[in-house]
Amino acid sequence: MSIRSVLATACLGLAVLFGGAAQAQELIPHPLREVGIEDRPGAELPLDVPFVQQDGRQVTLRDYLADGKPLVLVPAYYQCPMLCSLVLNGLQKGLSNLAWTAGKEFNVVTFSFDPRDTPELAKQKRAGYLEAYGREVNERGWDFLVGTESDIRRVTDAIGFTYRWDEKQQEYAHASGAFIVTPDGRLSRTLYGISFPPRDLRLAISEASEGKLGSAFERVLLFCFHYDPSAYGYVLASRRLMSAAGAVTVVVVGLFLLRNWRSETRRSRRPEEAHT
């Protein structure tokens, strides 16, 4: 996606703010009206769709879930002039600030939605981002894949990622995000945008692991925060915290009353014991 497309998206936000949705729609270039991400938590991915990884070997998404780890799935085409690089840069930065490492606690797959991309291009992209990541990554810890148009569409349709070719600009119009997949191949969370805060990545990966990853601290965080699609990330779970606070208050008051009752009971028994 070119700088023109990014500026058009910014114009959309300003138009909504100052002129309403009707005017905003008119400002959006036609190709951008047909792209986006639809949040589909729980969607089942087609795990046996064939891809080719950076070394030319055929793989499937199932191969990256076989070890029981969550998967971070990122659509990005390798000849993209700008936006895909911003997405991958944001992901690399977020992953670099995690205590967990790709290939150990979770796996990462970047797949191109451009059928013209080749394994050689995938190899070059992978080498650059692993160098920036700066950690030793196990085999299939972070791979870059290519595929045919029909196979790619099966995956993008499943995760709710829509894109289209802009003939005039000679590039793809598309949205940006990362998709967190459970070990059994279901879409757990969609993280939108080009920036992926370590907290959101940690919570999403921990949540997708279904309790297998993360300490007691992560489980407390998951209780305190919940994913809000409208906020494009994890936010404080106000109702949950208020309910928990109410329950704690009831317990504290109950313990206080019980203590007072026991004290009163002991005091009432002392005169009888002294008389006896």
Verify that 145 and 165 share a domain, yes or no: yes
| Owning domain of residue 153 | 35-195
DSSP string, 133-200: H-S---TTSEEEEE--HHHHHHHHHHHTEEEEEETTTTEEEE--EEEEE-TTSBEEEEEESS---HHH
Q: Is residue 45 part of a domain?
A: yes
- Is residue 125 located within the same domain as residue 9? no
The reply to whether 79 and 172 lie within a common domain is yes
Q: Tell me whether residue 13 is in a domain.
A: yes
| pLDDT tens-place values along the chain, 276 residues long | 444 444 444 444 444 444 444 444 454 455 556 789 999 999 999 999 999 999 999 999 999 999 999 999 999 999 999 999 999 999 999 999 999 999 999 999 999 999 999 999 999 999 999 999 999 999 899 999 999 999 999 999 999 999 999 998 899 999 999 999 999 999 999 999 999 999 999 999 999 987 544 444 444 443 454 456 566 554 554 454 344 444 444 444 455 555 665 666 666 665 555 555
Pair 21, 101 in one domain: no
pTM of this structure: 0.71
- The verdict on 51 and 164 lying in the same domain is yes
Rounded distance between C-alpha atoms, residue 73 and residue 85, angstroms: 15
Q: Do 83 and 22 share a structural domain?
A: no
Structural domains counted in the chain: 2
Judgement on whether residues 17 and 2 belong to the same structural domain of the protein: yes
Q: Domain with 85 in it: what CATH number?
A: 3.40.30.10
Q: Does residue 112 sit in the same domain as residue 180?
A: yes
